[in-house]
Structure 1
Amino acid sequence: MEDLRPPLRLIGYWSSADTPDWPNPNDWVDLDWDDRERELVAIYLAGGIHAPYATAGPSECRICKQANGSLELTDGTYLWPEGLAHYVRDHSVRLPEVIVQHALKWMDGWMAKTGMWTRHGGGRSATVQCDA
């Protein structure tokens, strides 16, 4: 049977001796990134589903050298290393805007399902607990 699912898109894989053309996380640091938005993206990344793939072993953060996980996570669209939330949360590594918007849209859906909703507008965000 033919697999009709679109391929997963890789995010958060960094340059190394084997992959010199991949991005360097230091180039994506955005110290002006809104703290709340950054945290929502980090929560989304940390909440991914464990992908059924073998990995090459533990990873080390390219910025601070801390141990950074050995799993791969997915949401069915993207595939990323377990430690990507660390880069976002602790080093303010801002992913491309299409990924940030995908994460925020996913988080809005999750918040709506759990009795929380988020309104974005005018550069401000507000989260409101629903009592319904």
Structure 2
Amino acid sequence: MASLSLPRVFVPRKTSLDIEREHFEKSQNIAITKAINAHEVPVKQKHVRSAIIGTFQQQGGHIFWSIALRLPTLDDRIVAWKFCHVLHKVLREGHPLCLVHSQRHRNELDEMGKLWVSEFYL
């Protein structure tokens, strides 16, 4: 007996809103990971600007934090410094709710600060 395949009708299709959301998340991921990397070069302002604009498109900092928490800030001091630089820019120039959304990540920032302060004073 030949195997029956399901018609294409049953395959869930993505709406244009879903596709746009995926594109937005992908572009934010690219911009933030390009801004915060381990290379000893200054942060490019175009990547920081993309992250800031993304906070206004999203009305907050959820996407920024979901990407930033996956970065190796505890492994490399250059990544940690660039993260602090980009976070400073996002908090100052980003959407006003970014500051509110960042409050729940104070423990991660304190942990990173304690690690790298002890590293610099040794």
Give the number of the structure whose residues are more often helix, by fraction: 2
TM tier, shorter chain? under 0.3
Indicate the structure (1 or 2) with the bigger Cα radius of gyration.
2
Q: TM-score when scaled to structure 1?
A: 0.24
Give the number of the structure whose residues are more often strand, by fraction: 1
